[in-house]
Amino acid sequence: MYQSILREQLELLKSSNQYRTFTTLSRICGQYPLAKLNGERQEPVVVWCSNDYLGMSQHPTVRQHMHQALETYGAGSGGSRNIGGSHELYERLEASLADWHGKEAALVFPTGYGSNDATLQCLLRQIPNCVVVSDALNHASIISGIRATPNERQVFRHNDVEHLEQILSAYPLAQPKLVVFESIYSMDGDIAPIVEIVEVAKRFNALTYLDEVHAVGMYGPRGAGVAAELGIADQIDIIQGTMAKAIGVIGGYIASTRVVVDAVRSFATGFIFTTSLPPAVTAGCLASVEHLKASDNERLRLQHNTALLRERLKQQDIPVMPCSQTHVLPVLVGEAERCRAAAQRLLHTHGVYLQPINYPSVPVGTERFRVNATPNHSQAQIDHLALSIRETFEHFAIPLASQAFASEVA
């Protein structure tokens, strides 16, 4: 009975084009963005949708520090942070992250998903009668943390400050409130109106919680994020980030006041009852963060390659969605089956890896490729990508930009 129930659910998933399959790619150390396609292709493929935005997973300094930590401490951490898992590298990493964001303290989690989920659950459970107000396009980890509590919750339209103001104004000034939003939204590549959101939140006595996972390392002074670039990081109550994207390793964190961080450390079950990051991973994170604080080289090369990629896609009439303001370039396909078929052709005919992004990650009718250049992509690879997407779009009769956006221009 149980097998048949689950099989039926899987068939429904497949019939709606929401079933996810894995493409087995073995990245080649020191040659990123090249990767070997498992068992099917001798020549490497070029990865164009990795979250390793700055290629820091390949950086010699990061790899060296990970090797040294492995030989010094061994493989695992040995336990949770409370029971044997707080090795000396943790203190250094958390101090470095707090300094990065100009906060009093920071707390590291095994994943970015876990840092959102555990922190939001903790805050909403520990602050009595707290109303949480969340952007409509917030990440699944934020939604999970909010839904796990019985707190009253409201959703404001994506990046709509007026709607946020309407919601907050309906509650007494003294009632606790928490506004949760992201700086960069990874499916559209757009940037939140952070200054305006913070101003409204403060006016109505609300805490602000900003997810900077797609911004840390790449924007702002020392790569500290969009809030730092705007000069208002000090006005954000809690900044959340990840070490699995621009930093190039894995792990999540929050940075805030000592009181907030201590409360999460002391009460968040998702932090207390999980094994800590291994020393080698922590060492890699620390080396990467310290490098990105001191080096603008990776950020400048990313900006250059992103601009070049935008130009090449425009020349080929590729429909980059106009919402994009960042390194994330969403290319509109608009139909799930064609998106999947196009991804297969790009991979097997052109040696280009792009993962199809379908519902529920994006709304039906906006299926897309989420493309991003890195500092490691060459001009030849950028040119090849643009030509490959153009050929693939023509092969499947996918509308080009001049067709897809014609009504918007008119």
State the catalytic residues.
245
CA distance 107 to 253: 5
Asked if residue 327 lies in contact with residue 53, where contact means CB atoms within 8 angstroms, the answer is yes
How many C-beta neighbours within 10 Å does residue 365 have?
Answer: 10
What strands lie across the sheet with 34-37, from one edge to the other? 25-27, 34-37, 45-47, 352-353
Listed in sequence order, the DSSP H helices in 159-278 are: 161-169, 194-203, 226-229, 258-267, 269-272
DSSP string, 92-140: HHHHHHHHHHT-SEEEEES-HHHHHHHHHHHHHHHSTT-EEEEETT--H
Give Dmax over CA atoms of the chain in angstroms.
64
User: What are the angstrom distances between the C-alpha of 133 and each of 155, 156, 183, 255?
Assistant: 6, 7, 15, 20
| Residue 95, number of CB atoms within 10 A of its CB | 13
Contact 194, 231 (CB under 8 A): no
The residue behind tokens 């470095």 is 96
